[in-house]
Structure 1
Amino acid sequence: MSLPTVSTTVSYPAGEVAGKSPVLAVPVLPDGRWAVVVADTPFHPLDHTWPDQPADTGTLTVAGRAYPVVDCRTGGVGPDGGFAVAGDIPVRRGDESWAWLVLHVVDPVDGVDPDSLVGAEAVLAVDPDRRAGLSAAHTACHLLAFALNEALADRWRKEVRTDALGRPDFDSLAMDTSRIAEWASRDDYRIGKSLRKKGFGSEGLADELAAVEQRANATLARWVATGAEVRVEVPDAALTARRVWHCALPEGDAHIPCGGSHAHSLAELASVVVALELSEDGTELTARTAVTPAERTPNNPAA
């Protein structure tokens, strides 16, 4: 079977949830499921290097038969033609000697040869409700990063890297893991020796945590009320292109490199609320962010 030597192009950064594209290959995964590869897709795959946003699901229809897309993963084809999936890819994401592919994972169908799909046109449809929940949560997760940086800004005793709004970038410097869910996210931060050496003062944080949470939530509420525009800067359509999330906040253009999908504006969110929790030893801070969707109206049909 011949695998593509050109990376998949993607339309999800613009918010697309539907498309048509020719099937280029259908490799069979070790678990027996099929990985349908097309030239262009609206599906967002799980990023194997920073798996914060889960994969899109939906359907892929070829020759009148609908195949449920139960997972969407990242694959790669090396210069020697070798095929690898997700964590088995031996090079850094975006290595220009590799072709980077979106793998639409479907269950095998008895009596259908996966190679028979190659060359046919696929009609691709992402689950729009799941996408909306994940996109809103990802946008809110970035808002939380800036709000938390602001709420903790007075705890830094040394100059460190700042975020796009000019505040010490606690989110980036302390980040351990980030996970997006539908209308919610969880971010875990490490407040250990390394962060303290950089100048972060963790003394008394447990006693002040409620005040920090309140300050962050007040900032989030103020920002959401603006209904500010959200956009994704896209240099090109390749899967591994370096994209940047932007939000036009009152304090300026907040931006963060990001490969996920997002809301088009904060008007799609009714509220964003964070709950903070500090571990007993004070070395781990967890931020759980919950998003309430805005009500759909004729003036706000995208909500």
Structure 2
Amino acid sequence: MKSTLVTFPSGLTSGRSQIVGVVPVGDRHGLVVAETPFHPLDHTWPDQPADRGTIGGLPVVDCLTGARSAAGEVFLGADIPARRGAEDWDWLVVHVTPEPLPVGSEVDLEVDAGFRAALSAGHTACHLAALALNAALADRWRKEVRADALGSPDFDQAAITSSRIGPHHSQDVYRLGKSLRKKGFAADGLDPAVVARRVNEQLAEWVAADAPVRVEVPDAGLTARRTWHCSLPGGEASIPCGGTHVSGTAELAGIGVELSLSPEEDTLTMRTAVSMC
């Protein structure tokens, strides 16, 4: 097996390829093909769920990232011991099915396009909300920190602990602890309702701007360092990202966020919801 080539970054949801390997996944079967349109769950930052669909007519009940060592041993998901993209490993998309299919056979791969579109909307909105949140919190920094692509202090990257994408929604959790305060962020007196209002005002402007979205793809490898771009009125936004996205903000009727504080856990949670045109 060689590293899987992927076509999902360009938006494809169907394809045809040859099965090049089968690996056990519990009592199920992990089918590996030469090229796939399926987006697997990322093992390092599992924000976007795996695609659904069929391979060779069989349901794909899960889709995982796999890695094959030089010795031929295959590891899946969180069990992968190598650094993402390590050159002496083969990086695989593993389509989990209830039944096996023979190695060497040509199969059709069909992604659930509706589910993919809903996740893509949620993921694009997640990035836009993060940029809007950075801008809304810019006046709370007392020290110089790394800026995002639009010039605001990058609160999102400095404080995020988890991000989860869902169909037409996302949830991001930020740690407001001592380490962030040492970096210069003033969390005292933060009013989540006031911040959410600023974020939503900015998001409304960006959605109305009909801003084009694209994913920069250096090569077809699964672990290629892809970058999300959005040409916003205030400049070209970019965020490293391995997920899928809509082609422009015109596909979104609206994006709204809600923010909540948890003093016990010292966290800020942002929930983002998308309405479609």
TM-score by length of structure 2 reads: 0.98
The letter for the 1-side match of 2:98 is: D
What is the aligned-residue identity percentage?
58
Count of paired positions: 277
1:43 and 2:26 aligned:
no
Cα-to-partner distance string for 1:245-273 (whole Å, 9 max, x where unaligned): 00000010000000001111111110000
| Unaligned ranges ≥5, structure 1 | 109-113, 295-303
For 2:86, the equivalent position in structure 1 comes to 95
For 1:134, the equivalent position in structure 2 comes to 119
Which of 139, 157, 169 is the matching residue for 1:172? Answer: 157
C-alpha root-mean-square deviation of aligned residues, in Å?
0.9
The letter for the 2-side match of 1:174 is: A
Is the CA contact (8 Å cut-off) linking 2:41 and 2:65 kept in structure 1?
yes
Aligned residue runs from structure 1 range 149-160, under 5 A: 149-160=134-145
Cα-to-partner distance string for 1:72-112 (whole Å, 9 max, x where unaligned): 0011110111111111111111111000000010002xxxx
Aligned to 1:264, the other structure's residue is in SS state: coil
For 1:111, the equivalent position in structure 2 comes to none
1:15 and 2:11 aligned:
yes
For 1:261, the equivalent position in structure 2 comes to 244
The letter for the 2-side match of 1:251 is: G
Cα-to-partner distance string for 1:157-201 (whole Å, 9 max, x where unaligned): 110010000110000000000000000000000000000000001
Aligned to 2:121, the other structure's residue is in SS state: helix
How far, CA to CA, are the matches of 1:97 and 1:286 in structure 2?
39
For 1:185, the equivalent position in structure 2 comes to 170
1:240 and 2:241 aligned:
no
Q: 1:25 deviation in Å? A: 1.0
For 2:210, the equivalent position in structure 1 comes to 227
Aligned residue runs from structure 1 range 78-117, under 5 A: 78-108=69-99, 114=100, 117=102
For 1:54, the equivalent position in structure 2 comes to 49
Q: 1:227 deviation in Å? A: 1.3
| Unaligned ranges ≥5, structure 2 | none
How far, CA to CA, are the matches of 2:265 and 2:152 in structure 1?
23
Is the CA contact (8 Å cut-off) linking 2:39 and 2:51 kept in structure 1?
yes
Cα-to-partner distance string for 1:124-167 (whole Å, 9 max, x where unaligned): 00001100000010000000110000000000011001000011
Cα-to-partner distance string for 1:27-80 (whole Å, 9 max, x where unaligned): 222x2101110000000000011000000010111xxxx100111001111011
How far, CA to CA, are the matches of 1:45 and 1:203 in structure 2?
40
Q: 1:282 deviation in Å? A: 7.3
For 2:20, the equivalent position in structure 1 comes to 24
Q: 1:209 deviation in Å? A: 2.0
TM-score by length of structure 1 reads: 0.90
How far, CA to CA, are the matches of 2:189 and 2:94 in structure 1?
48
How far, CA to CA, are the matches of 1:234 and 1:13 in structure 2?
7
